[in-house]
Structure 1
Amino acid sequence: MEEEDYRSDEIVEAMERETAIPEVAITPRFAQLEALEGLDRTLEEGYEKAMVVMATGLGKTYLAGFLAKRFKRVLFVAHREEILHQAKASFSRILPDRSFGLYNGVHKEADADCIFASIYTLGMRRHRESFSTDAFDLIVVDEFHHAAAVSYRSVMDYFEPKFMLGITATPDRMDGKDVFALCDGNVAYQIHFLEAIRRGWLSPFRYFGVYDSTDYSQIRWLGSHYDEEQLAALQLRDSMALRIYEAWGEHKITRTIAFCSSIRQADYLADYFQERGVSTVSLHSGTIGMTRTEAIEGLSKGNLDIIFTVDLFNEGVDIPSVDTLLFVRPTESLTVFTQQVGRGLRLSENKSHCHIIDLIGNYRNADLKMRLFEEKDETSSSGKVAVTAALPGECELKLDIQVIDLLAEISRKKLPRREYLLGAYRQLKHELGRTPTYLELHLHGRANSREYASEFGSYIGFLHWAHELTEREQGLFQQYEAWLKDVEKTAMAKSYKMIVLLAMLERGAREWMKVLTPSEAAPFFHQYLTGKEYRKRIDFSDQKAKRLWSYNEAGVSDLIAEMPMSKWSGARGSMTTFENGVFALRIEASARPEDEETLYQWTKDICLYRLHYHFERRGKRRSI
């Protein structure tokens, strides 16, 4: 990977002036205190990795600085220069006795106590390997939702710190399950931005969904975004600019950031507003005549009314006094929309609310942004998602009648459920170049993985429906369909059933269906649950289980007999039995070795998926 085109020293110095803060004592507050308590528990339990999910404006970088007090040498990794400089300034306030250095395309200050490194530089092997694998006691990965990228993974796989912390406001790639797996299923602390507003830690908002009559259906869709030229042809019109100007005039408060689709749109709107007496600037990489720092100062002091930008303020830039956000672009990513909304929610003196003015047309994913205002709690045993729609008391959601009708129409026109699942599967299969495993579908697919079992009985049932099985596999599926559904759908308040099944699978394709006794399962069962701290914390921490932390064969055997074996076999329609102290499957082995191997792989695929999903879901619930 080529190193990023870094800014000149003059711009770097400007950013450092921007982030400079008077030297006053600083202590943890609000969400930082709760997050530090969660990290304390995590460290006490022996975790080596954790993630903290905190909304923009709650002080994630300062949190990392407070945690860094407990470690001697620290590496802070980010993908934007401004994030590195702001983090360096924040850490210096908390750790005045430490030395600080940058490691990027311009600076290689490798001997400092705390190093702030660009992922574009550290992602290069020669730079990464200039450090020993144990060079750092703590590694902080900022904007952790990017961590599934190859460059981040190379850094995370190379270094061996005592502890690694991922911090983010948006943990998901759309809903970010792959990122969760990178921290061993451990979310030390998590708080939704709506909850932070309820507690008074962020500013309440008023959201205005303004109807945009532009017909986006005529613009070519390129898989993840609209054709830029065709989009610009529709956006760069006085009629649309007038609609935007009127919406802003009706709903604005004072200081505004406007998010545009392109530099051309930002320039066009800035000129249009200026002609009407509004003080504006179009701020982007090609801006001439005003620096980024001057624009931010101008907006903060009220000398500027609006900054039109493209993606400059998605991450790493804080202007607390901003009280109006203007969206004049199609929303293509919930993650980006979440980051942009966060720009206006910081608390500031004389700021009672943030007004969010969003022009909504018939573009793809127009309904996606409404998910931002839902709080999800994946806690039911069925795996279904409960949604809390109530906004904090001081917040308002106001949609034009045409917007309400438009969103309803978009919902009606969404692909049928089965076709959507098939499309998500095919996209991932194309990316991988092969059939994805069930766990890969969960980690990297765009659809909710539980819907495959809900709709088709099992993931293998979906593959059968989608004509992805060979003729031999189709017959095998029909023969063992009831068993596959049982593995897929048996209730799991704890992970115990799947651990017993995994113990059987560990014996290999030729032996896995043989009967199993509780005492035979006990060593593997105990080792699996105590081998990772998060498993022990989630599923082996009630009073009965705690007595078995130090391995006791009789006690563990009794627990296995009483819970997973008895409960699974006693469930209605179960394909298992537990009689006279022996656990068995109510299926017969195939006479053909290739069928044995296929059924073994199918069963293991579902088992590993269900174990991962269980700990992921339970880990999220415990962290809230």
Structure 2
Amino acid sequence: MSTDILEAVRNRTKEDLKNKLSLFNRCAVPRCTGFGKTWLLSEIAQEYDTVLYLYPAEIIKKTAMHAIDETWEIEDEDESEAEEKKAIYDELGYELDYHNIRFMTYTKLARMDKKQIKELPLYSLIIMDEAHRLGGELTKTRALWLMYYQKNSHIIGATATPERMDAFDVIAEFFRGICVFQYTLHDAIQDGIIKMPIYIYCTYDIETSFKQAARLTGQDKNNIVVDEVLKSRLFEVSNVHNIPKIMKKTTDKYVSAKSYMKYIVFFPNIKKLLERYTKVEEWFKEAFPGYTVNTLVVTSENKTTQNNINNLNLKHHRKTIDLIACVDMLNMGYHVEDLTGIVMYRCTTSSQIYIQQFGRALSTGSKNRCVVFDIVDNLHRKSLFHLAPEGKRRIKRAHPTKKERAERLLDEIKHELTKKEQILMRKFIEDELEAEDQVAFDALWKKVNEISEEDIYAVDHLATYRELIAKTIAEVKYTRSKRAAEEYFRIQTSKCKRQIPNTVNELKKMKDLTPALKIFLDWQKIDEEDMLEYILEPGSVDKIDVKKIKQGIRDSMAY
């Protein structure tokens, strides 16, 4: 039944895409991981004479070529005719790589100058796969040049994560807000197309350690950005206990096929991966004594670990657990067969990275539910949308000067320092540190600023469906929509040659800017909980004036 629904949704998406391309020449395809975007793109590509296919990584190209082989119905063609056809296209500069398609990386596009882009032949279709990659500064400029010079081409942008950390709206900027009908992860789970993973997140009592870390680094423990950064750092350096018991208990309860298991383990960086992957092995060995635990490291560090990307679908062996350790090489484009689950050992405030990595546990047509072990509780971690100051696209973290940190430290831990150490700190603060004091001061500074390794105890929790939808859909949808309403208001004030108000009273005096003002003020009353209710129960939240919000979103060219 779910297969029939999936086929129906894919076909409806395809028809909607073709219709919007015929009307607007461009259309975005935001679809959740596991939907089959690559197969959809390959089917569409067959209907065009020449296609330019932009992609970020080699695996995306390989996946697209595989999809073409599986989906295209290619008539037998005389070899001489095929060579003649290719020669004609080559002479025209199309440089086709595979059938009617020229593949080009975003990196290559970013290195092209305006003249080179202008001289590209005119393609009938341009596909921008993993379209969120268009937001990089160089790529953004080149892509806009490309779209200008290929103005008569049909252009498709596909991505599972249109939201970027810098708040740049790819779909609004490149596709004028035009996209296929909405079909979210919530819809896919409700329709039975994707099975909801078993999501286990861990919590810890680290407040004492956190306060100490904040003190030692001279940071304000009440600052929300500091809270996220330092807690992430504590997770990275600490020894986590109780994880094996959590893994064993969860597997016994929810995993039916236990003879062979396979997990992807996400680490924050290569250094931490190399330091910690043996620790993860130990967790599984302790949880499942008698099993052989192997680790395949997939990173960009060297050719061996890079080439391991071709060995993801490992052979099954009884009483074996295969771990695939990586940083971000598996974030997109890879389908790992027979995956038991994923382990999140990387703290992230990026909704994009979180959704990409969570997406590895999602697959259409899968018989079994994947298990997610969120060791660092990314599920409840504040995203960059919340951490960024109002109106700012990037976080500006507060970094006190060395003297400010020294003054704070001297005030807070004076009783922990010897008399000599207190004198050294005071000399540094007052610029009276002498040359012979430098070695002693450097040693003291290292001592008081070192975040020490802690032993922390994990407590497991089973995430509710509501929590998962709040993180993967409501959070980003709320932020995107609110930003659109605010942008609409800014556009209207600019048109009226008015200044953006600085106070609530100034805002209320701007009666001539209704309905823009009404839309803006309505959004100030809406929180994420309202948005979540609206997603789960459409029409249930009276405060959301859907018609006016949609008008505001359209006018600000968001989606």
Residue number among 152, 155, 159 corresponding to 1:164 in the alignment: 155
Matching residue of 1:384: none
Give CA-to-partner distance per residue, 1:291-348, whole Å, 9 cap, x none. Answer: 4246412277775422121111111111142131111221211111111111111146
- Residue 128 of structure 1: CA displacement? 7.5
Q: Deviations over 1:196-230 (max 9, x none)?
A: 12223223312112213445563779999999999
1:272 aligns with 2:289: no
Give me the whole-angstrom Cα distance separating, in 1, the residues matched to 2:480 and 2:210.
26
Taking the aligned partners of 2:232 and 2:162, their CA distance within structure 1 comes to 30
Greater relative CO, 1 or 2 (CA 8 Å, sep 6+): 2
**Residues 153-183 of structure 1, C-alpha deviations (whole Å, 9 max, x = no match):** 4134224152000011122225764423421
Bigger shift: residues 80-89 or 108-117? 108-117
Q: Structure 1 pair 251/305, CA: closer, same or farther in 2 (3 Å)?
A: farther
Judging changes above 3 Å, is the alpha-carbon distance between structure 1 residues 47 and 325 closer, same or farther for their aligned structure 2 residues? same
1:329 maps to which residue?
346
Asked if 2 retains the 8 angstrom alpha-carbon contact of 1:256 and 1:305, the reply is yes
Match of 1:317 in 2: 334
Q: Could you tell me whether the CA contact under 8 Å between 1:284 and 1:310 is conserved in 2?
A: yes
- Out of 30, 54, 59, which is 1:53 matched to? 30
Query: Which residue of 110, 125, 138 corresponds with 1:123?
Result: 110
The answer as to whether partners of 1:122 and 1:128 remain within 8 angstroms in 2 is no
Change (3 A) 1:311 1:249: farther
Q: Does 1:481 align with 2:459?
A: no
1:614 paired with 2:554, answer: yes
Q: Match of 2:350, as an amino acid?
A: S
Counterpart CA distance in 2 for 1:229 and 1:478 is 38
What residue is the counterpart of 1:235 in the other structure?
236
SS of corresponding position for 1:38:
helix
Amino acid aligned to 1:68: A
Q: Does 1:155 align with 2:146?
A: no
Cα distance in 2, alignment partners of residues 211 and 86 from structure 1: 37
Superposed CA deviations along residues 363-404 of structure 1, whole A, max 9, x for unmatched, are 8971449x9xxxxxxxxxxxxxxxxxxxxxxxxxxxxxxxxx
- Look up the match of 1:63: 40
| Cα distance in 2, alignment partners of residues 206 and 200 from structure 1 | 15
- Deviation, 1:65, is 0.9
Q: Aligned partners of 2:281 and 2:313: how far apart in 1? A: 19
Distance 2:31 2:96 in 1: 31
Q: Counterparts of 2:279 and 2:321 in 1: how far apart (Å)?
A: 15
Which amino acid in structure 2 is aligned with residue 450 of structure 1? Answer: A
Q: In the aligned structure 1, how far is the partner of 2:115 from the partner of 2:173? A: 23
Query: Equivalent residues in 2 for 1:127-276 (5 A)?
Result: 129=116, 132-150=119-137, 151-158=139-146, 159-160=149-150, 161-173=152-164, 177-214=169-206, 215=209, 218=213, 235-237=236-238, 239-240=239-240, 242-252=241-251, 253=255, 254-275=261-282, 276=285
Match of 2:314 in 1: 298
Which stretches in structure 1 are left out of the alignment for 5+ residues?
1-27, 102-107, 372-413, 431-441, 467-473, 492-608
With over 3 angstroms needed to count, the CA separation of the structure-2 counterparts of 1:306 and 1:120, relative to structure 1, is same
Q: CA deviation at 1:357?
A: 1.5
- Aligned residue number for residue 79 of structure 1: 56
Partners of 1:131 and 1:157 lie apart in 2 by 8
Q: CA deviation at 1:115?
A: 0.9
1:39 to 17, 26, 33: 17
Aligned to 1:358: 374
Question: In 1, distance between residues paired with 2:321 and 2:71?
Answer: 33
Equivalent-residue separation in structure 2 for 1:614 and 1:461 (angstroms) = 23
Per-residue CA deviation, residues 513-569 of structure 1 (Å, 9 max, x unaligned), is xxxxxxxxxxxxxxxxxxxxxxxxxxxxxxxxxxxxxxxxxxxxxxxxxxxxxxxxx
User: Whose helix proportion is higher, 1 or 2?
Assistant: 2
- After TM superposition, the score normalised by the length of structure 2 is 0.59
| Distance (Å, rounded) in 1 between the aligned partners of 2:187 and 2:175 | 24
Aligned residue for 1:256, secondary structure, equals strand
Distance change (3 Å), C-alpha of 1:301 and 1:225: farther
SS state at 1:448 partner = helix
Correspondence for 1:396: none
**Could you tell me which residue of structure 1 aligns to residue 95 of structure 2?**
110
How much does 1:428 deviate? 7.2
Matched letter for residue 118 of structure 1: T
Q: Is the 8 A contact 2:60 2:333 kept in 1?
A: yes
**Alignment-derived partner of residue 436 in structure 2:** none
Is residue 465 of structure 1 aligned with residue 456 of structure 2? no
In the alignment, the residues of structure 2 paired with residue 32 and residue 177 of structure 1 have an alpha-carbon distance, to the nearest angstrom, of 25
Cα deviation, residue 54, structure 1: 1.2
Taking only aligned residues, the RMSD between alpha carbons, in angstroms, comes to 4.7
Verify the 8 A CA contact 1:148 1:179 in the aligned structure 2.
no
SS of 1:165 mapped into structure 2: strand
1:450 corresponds to:
485
Q: Deviations over 1:212-262 (max 9, x none)?
A: 34455637799999999996675244x32x444443333344321111112
Change (3 A) 1:185 1:337: same
Q: Is the 8 A contact 1:232 1:265 kept in 2?
A: no
- TM-score normalised to structure 1 length: 0.53
In structure 2, what is the Cα distance between the partners aligned to 1:118 and 1:59? 21
Structure 1 SS opposite 2:510: helix
1:610 CA displacement:
9.4
CA deviations on 1:15-45 (whole Å, 9 max, x unpaired) are xxxxxxxxxxxxx93532121111232144x
Residue 439 of structure 1 is matched in structure 2 by none
- For the residue of structure 2 that corresponds to 1:51, the secondary structure is strand
Change (3 A) 1:87 1:249: same
Greater shift, 205-214 or 254-263, is seen at 205-214
Contact 1:141/1:165, CA 8 A, preserved across alignment: yes
Give, in whole Å, the separation in 1 of the partners of 2:393 and 2:244. Answer: 40
> How many residues are paired up?
394
Question: In 1, are the aligned partners of 2:162 and 2:171 still within 8 Å (CA)?
Answer: yes
Deviation, structure 1 residue 60 = 0.6
- Matching residue of 2:301: 286
CA distance in 2, matches of 1:224, 1:146: 25
Asked if structure 1 preserves the Cα contact closer than 8 Å seen for 2:262 and 2:322, the reply is: yes
Q: Quick one: structure 1 residues 109 and 260, their matched pair in 2 at CA, closer, same or farther if it must change by over 3 Å?
A: farther
Distance 1:109 1:284, change over 3 A: farther
Shift of the 490–141 alpha-carbon distance from structure 1 to 2, 3 Å rule, reads closer
CA change 1:90–1:225 in 2 (3 A) is farther
Cα separation, 2, equivalents of 1:267 and 1:195 = 39
Distance across 1 between alignment mates of 2:507 and 2:172: 35
* C-alpha distance in 2 between matches for 1:140 and 1:295: 28
Label 1:299 to 1:256 Cα distance change in 2 as closer, same or farther (>3 A): farther
Matching residue's letter, 1:332? T
1:340 aligns with 2:357: yes
Cα distance between partner residues in 2 of 1:232 and 1:300: 36
Looking at structure 1, the residues matched to 119 and 33 of structure 2 have their Cα atoms a distance apart, in angstroms, of: 33
SS in 1 for 2:300: coil
* Distance across 2 between alignment mates of 1:282 and 1:167: 29
Alpha-carbon distance in structure 1 between the residues aligned to 2:158 and 2:42: 12
Q: For the residues of structure 1 that align with 2:225 and 2:133, how far apart are their CA atoms?
A: 17
Whether the 8 Å contact between 2:484 and 2:556 is mirrored in structure 1 is: no
Which amino acid is the alignment partner of residue 248 of structure 1?
M
